[in-house]
């Protein structure tokens, strides 16, 4: 039921900046080799270089021969993350409501060249997922807008003749998620999470371990089959794209559990700890998402011209703020990726259980014929 998702669920293949290669790699990782229809916007690029900050805490200590003097003790990013994750793990969350609902905005930024003028355009898509025990899975995608990214980009766009910007709709023919319309995809039965050969029901997701070591062991039990599926489906045309190794695959599955699955607070906390413990992964405080919200982040990549993947977390609650990708430095083969900006982001707006029901227009329900699902635009 994921065939109509605009992107391949936050699993970029970092070494390549070519959108087609990235899309192809994601399709193999997440769907056992099925290549989805992905627009040129999907490979593209986003905003503001991440800055690392450290929180200072004031402590008062006695001074010999006089009054107290203030000294500064520093709290590390790892300590900030640990405290936030501890608070999340202790949270009690009712799961008896009818649906788990996640609303986010997919944000893409891309450098465009028209009539000798270059500018960066930003495309936004509203993405709402409804899921629950014994409930049809419902995915709702709405094209919001496409516009020049900054005032300087707008000036260049205007000098280029203000060409039409269609976001994810590559030829402006309303074939994917056109601006001002909504696409509905409704499953015929309960569906939890599917990635490559890994399929988890909602009940299985709710029962995932709260201990990071146990969670990692559980998830890695799915790795051998996923690895073989990716080998079998690797096409000749994409042979130059290296298949992800175990830890990279685990990172992608962890992101999916945070973004697209009704995981409990305890499991979400375990996912954070599991990902932060992977080889080469770093933790940094003071990272901003594309909405300007500041959090503590789990980071991977970012060396030798590859993009850096960021999982940005609320410092106080442990809630997920966003996942985002940034190309930190210019490279010889960066294509249309402006260095130093977040070029793709999944921005969480709302996440949790609800008794609300998704509103599905007539003709877009689970009884719709398979060959008509792509036409369910309203």
The pLDDT of residue 195 is above 50? yes
Q: What is the distance between the alpha carbons of residues 101 and 115, in angstroms, rounded to a whole number?
A: 44
Q: Please, which pLDDT band fits residue 357 given cuts at 50, 70 and 90?
A: confident
Angle made by CA atoms 246, 252, 257, in degrees to the nearest 5: 120
Residues 6 or more apart whose Cβ sits within 8 Å of residue 270: 89, 208, 209, 210, 211, 212, 214, 215
- What are the start-end ranges of the H helices in the chain? 19-31, 77-90, 151-159, 202-206, 212-220, 223-233, 246-259, 265-276
Q: What's the rounded Cα separation, in Å, for the pair 378 and 375? A: 9
- 75-78 long-range CB contacts below 8 Å, 24 or more apart? 77/52, 77/283, 77/284, 77/285, 77/296, 78/276, 78/283
pLDDT mean across residues, the chain: 75
Highest mean pLDDT among 113-117, 286-290, 362-366: 286-290
**Do residues 193 and 10 lie in contact, with contact meaning Cβ atoms separated by under 8 Å?**
no
Q: What is the distance between the alpha carbons of residues 343 and 22, in angstroms, rounded to a whole number?
A: 13
Cα–Cα distance measured from residue 203 to residue 186, given in angstroms and rounded to the nearest whole number? 19
Tens-place pLDDT, residues 148-169: 888 988 998 888 888 888 765 6
* Candidate from 150-154, 179-183, 211-215, 307-311 with smallest mean pLDDT: 179-183
Higher per-residue pLDDT: 115 or 268 = 268
Residues 199-232: tens digit of each pLDDT: 899 999 999 999 999 999 999 999 998 888 877 6
Instruction: Specify the DSSP class assigned to residue 36.
Output: P
If pLDDT is split at 50, 70 and 90, which confidence band does 331 have?
Answer: low
236, exposed or middle or buried, with CB in 10 Å at 0-12, 13-18, 19+? exposed
Specify whether the CB–CB gap between 322 and 348 falls below 8 A.
Answer: yes
Would you say the pTM of this structure is higher than 0.85? Answer: no
Token pair belonging to 328: 């930190």
Whether the CB-CB separation of 85 and 362 falls below 8 Å is answered with no
Burial 24-41 (b: 16+ CB within 10 A, else e): bbbbbbbbbbebbebbbb
For tokens 């294509």, name the residue.
Answer: 335
Question: What's the pLDDT at 368?
Answer: 59
Q: Could you give the C-alpha distances from 246 to 38, 228, 327, in angstroms and in order? A: 25, 12, 23
Q: Parse the chain into domains and list their residue ranges.
A: 19-57+68-375
* CA dist., res. 265 & res. 274, Å (int): 14
Quick one: pLDDT band at residue 178, thresholds 50, 70, 90? low
Note the pLDDT of residue 14: 32
Summarize the confidence of residues 276-287 as an average pLDDT: 95
Higher pLDDT, 53 or 328: 328
Question: pLDDT-derived band of residue 46, with 50, 70 and 90 as boundaries?
Answer: very low
Dig out the tokens for 212 from the structure. 């990071």
What does the pLDDT read at residue 11? Answer: 34
Summarised one tens digit per residue, pLDDT across range 133-153 is: 888 889 999 888 888 888 988
- Give the model's pLDDT for residue 82: 96
Tell me what pLDDT residue 84 has. Answer: 96
Which one has a higher pLDDT value, 229 or 332? 229
pLDDT average, residue stretch 166-189: 71
**Would you say residue 271 has pLDDT above 80?**
yes
Please report, for residues 76, 240, 287, 294, the alpha-carbon distance to residue 343 in angstroms, rounded to integers and kept in the order given.
28, 23, 15, 18
pLDDT at 42: 31
Q: In the predicted model, is pLDDT for residue 58 greater than 60?
A: no
Could you identify the residue written with the tokens 């980009």?
153
Q: Is the model's pLDDT at 53 over the cut of 70?
A: no
The vertex-17 CA angle with 15 and 21, nearest 5°, equals: 85
Residue 234: predicted pLDDT: 61
Q: Is the pLDDT of residue 102 over 90?
A: yes
Res 344 pLDDT > 60: yes
More confident residue, 21 or 306: 306
Instruction: Please give the pLDDT value at position 177.
Output: 67
């Amino acid at each position: 039921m994921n065939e109509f998702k605009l992107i391949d669920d936050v699993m970029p293949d970092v070494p390549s900046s070519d959108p087609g290669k990235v899309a192809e790699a994601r399709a193999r990782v997440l769907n056992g080799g099925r290549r989805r229809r992905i627009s040129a916007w999907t490979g593209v690029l986003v905003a503001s270089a991440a800055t690392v900050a450290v929180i200072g805490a004031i402590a008062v200590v006695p001074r010999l021969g006089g009054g107290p003097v203030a000294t500064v003790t520093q709290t590390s990013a790892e300590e900030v993350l640990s405290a936030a994750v501890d608070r999340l793990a202790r949270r009690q969350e009712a799961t008896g409501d009818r649906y788990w609902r996640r609303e986010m905005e997919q944000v893409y930024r891309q450098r465009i060249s028209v009539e000798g003028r270059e500018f960066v355009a930003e495309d936004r898509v509203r993405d709402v997922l409804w899921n629950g025990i014994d409930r049809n899975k419902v995915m709702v995608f709405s094209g919001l807008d496409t516009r020049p990214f900054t005032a300087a980009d707008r000036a260049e766009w205007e000098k280029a003749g203000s060409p039409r910007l269609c976001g994810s709709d590559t030829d402006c023919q309303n074939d994917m998620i056109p601006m001002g319309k909504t696409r509905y995809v409704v499953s015929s039965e309960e569906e939890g999470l599917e990635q490559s050969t890994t399929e988890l029901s909602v009940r299985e997701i709710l029962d995932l371990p709260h201990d990071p070591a146990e969670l990692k062991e559980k998830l890695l039990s799915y790795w051998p089959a996923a690895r073989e599926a990716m080998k079998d489906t690797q096409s000749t045309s994409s042979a130059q794209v290296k298949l992800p190794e175990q830890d990279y695959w685990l990172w992608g599955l962890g992101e999916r559990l945070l973004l697209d699955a009704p995981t409990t607070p305890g499991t979400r906390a375990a996912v954070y700890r599991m990902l932060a413990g992977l080889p080469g992964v770093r933790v940094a405080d003071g990272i901003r998402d594309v909405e300007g919200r500041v959090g503590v982040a789990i980071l991977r990549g970012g060396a030798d011209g590859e993009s850096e993947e960021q999982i940005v977390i609320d410092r106080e609650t442990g809630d997920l703020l966003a996942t985002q990708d940034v190309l930190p430095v210019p490279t010889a083969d960066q294509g249309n990726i402006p260095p130093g900006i977040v070029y793709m982001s999944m921005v969480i707006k709302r996440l949790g259980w609800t008794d609300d029901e998704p509103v599905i227009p007539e003709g877009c329900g689970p009884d719709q014929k398979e060959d008509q699902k792509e036409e369910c635009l309203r």
